[in-house]
Structure 1
Amino acid sequence: MGHLVYALVTVVIGLAGAAIYFYASNLLLDRALPYRDAEGARASRNLRRANAIRPWLFMLPAIVILSVYLVYPVLESIWLSFHGKAGIDFVGLSNYHWMLVDPEFRESIVNNLLWLLIVPALSTFFGLVIAALADRIWWGNIAKSLIFMPMAISFVGASVIWKFIYDFRPAGSEQIGLLNAVVVFFGGNPHAWITIPFWNSVFLMVILVWIQTGFAMVILSAALRSIPDETIEAAVIDGANGLQIFFKIMVPQIWGTIAVVWTTITILVLKVFDIVLAMTNGQWDTQVLANLMFEWMFRGGGDFGRGAVIALVIMVLVVPIMIWNIHNARQELR
Structure 2
Amino acid sequence: MQQLFFAVLTMIAGVLACALYFFGTNFILDRLLPSKGLSGPQASRNLRLTNAIRPWLFLGPALITLTVYLVYPVIESIRLSFHGRSGIEFVGFRNFIWMFNDGEFRQSIFNNFLWLLVVPALATFFGLIIAALTDRIWWGNIAKTLIFMPMAISFVGASVIWKFIYDYRPEGTEQIGILNALVVYFGGSPEAWVTLPFWNNFFLMVILIWIQTGFAMVILSAALRGIPEETVEAAVIDGANGLQIFFKIMIPQIWGTIAVVWTTITITVLKVFDIVLAMTNGQWQSQVLANLMFDWMFRGGGDFGRGAAIALVIMVLVVPIMVWNIRNANKEMEGH
1:71-120 CA deviation, whole Å, 9 max, x = no partner?
11111111111111111211111111111100100110010011011000
* Correspondence 1:17 to 2:17: yes
Correspondence for 2:88 = 88
- The more displaced of 164-173 and 42-51 is 42-51
- The more displaced of 116-125 and 27-36 is 27-36
The 5 A counterparts of 1:62-73 are 62-73=62-73
Rounded Cα–Cα distance in structure 2 between residues aligned with 1:34 and 1:226:
46
Correspondence for 2:33 = 33
The residue identity in structure 2 corresponding to 1:2 is Q
The residue identity in structure 1 corresponding to 2:246 is F
**Superposition RMSD in Å:** 1.4
* Deviation of 1:153 (Å): 1.4
Correspondence for 2:132 = 132
* Deviation of 1:42 (Å): 4.2
Rounded Cα–Cα distance in structure 1 between residues aligned with 2:159 and 2:15:
33
Question: 2:240 is paired with a residue of what secondary structure?
Answer: coil
Correspondence for 1:249 = 249
Question: 1:262 is paired with a residue of what secondary structure?
Answer: helix
Correspondence for 2:154 = 154
Correspondence for 1:193 = 193
* Deviation of 1:49 (Å): 3.2
Rounded Cα–Cα distance in structure 2 between residues aligned with 1:9 and 1:154:
20
The residue identity in structure 1 corresponding to 2:49 is R
Q: State the TM-score, normalized to the length of structure 2.
A: 0.95
Rounded Cα–Cα distance in structure 2 between residues aligned with 1:179 and 1:9:
40
Rounded Cα–Cα distance in structure 1 between residues aligned with 2:166 and 2:181:
10
Rounded Cα–Cα distance in structure 2 between residues aligned with 1:284 and 1:300:
19
* Correspondence 1:170 to 2:162: no
Correspondence for 1:297 = 297
The residue identity in structure 1 corresponding to 2:11 is V
Question: 1:84 is paired with a residue of what secondary structure?
Answer: coil
Rounded Cα–Cα distance in structure 2 between residues aligned with 1:195 and 1:30:
63
1:144-188 CA deviation, whole Å, 9 max, x = no partner?
111111111111111111112112223322222211221222222
Rounded Cα–Cα distance in structure 1 between residues aligned with 2:58 and 2:35:
20
Among the aligned pairs, what percent are the same residue?
75
Correspondence for 2:213 = 213
Rounded Cα–Cα distance in structure 2 between residues aligned with 1:75 and 1:153:
32
Rounded Cα–Cα distance in structure 1 between residues aligned with 2:51 and 2:176:
63
* Correspondence 1:204 to 2:204: yes
* Deviation of 1:41 (Å): 4.4
Correspondence for 2:109 = 109
The residue identity in structure 1 corresponding to 2:12 is V
* Deviation of 1:297 (Å): 0.8
The residue identity in structure 2 corresponding to 1:208 is L
Rounded Cα–Cα distance in structure 2 between residues aligned with 1:186 and 1:169:
16
- The more displaced of 21-30 and 222-231 is 21-30
The residue identity in structure 1 corresponding to 2:16 is A
* Deviation of 1:52 (Å): 2.6
Question: 1:220 is paired with a residue of what secondary structure?
Answer: helix
* Deviation of 1:222 (Å): 1.0
Correspondence for 2:309 = 309
Question: 1:62 is paired with a residue of what secondary structure?
Answer: helix
Rounded Cα–Cα distance in structure 2 between residues aligned with 1:198 and 1:308:
27
Q: State the TM-score, normalized to the length of structure 1.
A: 0.96
Unaligned runs of 5+ in 1: none
Rounded Cα–Cα distance in structure 1 between residues aligned with 2:139 and 2:8:
37
Rounded Cα–Cα distance in structure 1 between residues aligned with 2:40 and 2:228:
49
Rounded Cα–Cα distance in structure 1 between residues aligned with 2:285 and 2:179:
21
Correspondence for 1:48 = 48
* Deviation of 1:125 (Å): 0.3
Correspondence for 1:231 = 231
Rounded Cα–Cα distance in structure 2 between residues aligned with 1:313 and 1:272:
14
- The more displaced of 249-258 and 119-128 is 249-258
The 5 A counterparts of 1:266-277 are 266-277=266-277
1:274-310 CA deviation, whole Å, 9 max, x = no partner?
1111111111110000000111011111111101111
* Deviation of 1:7 (Å): 2.3
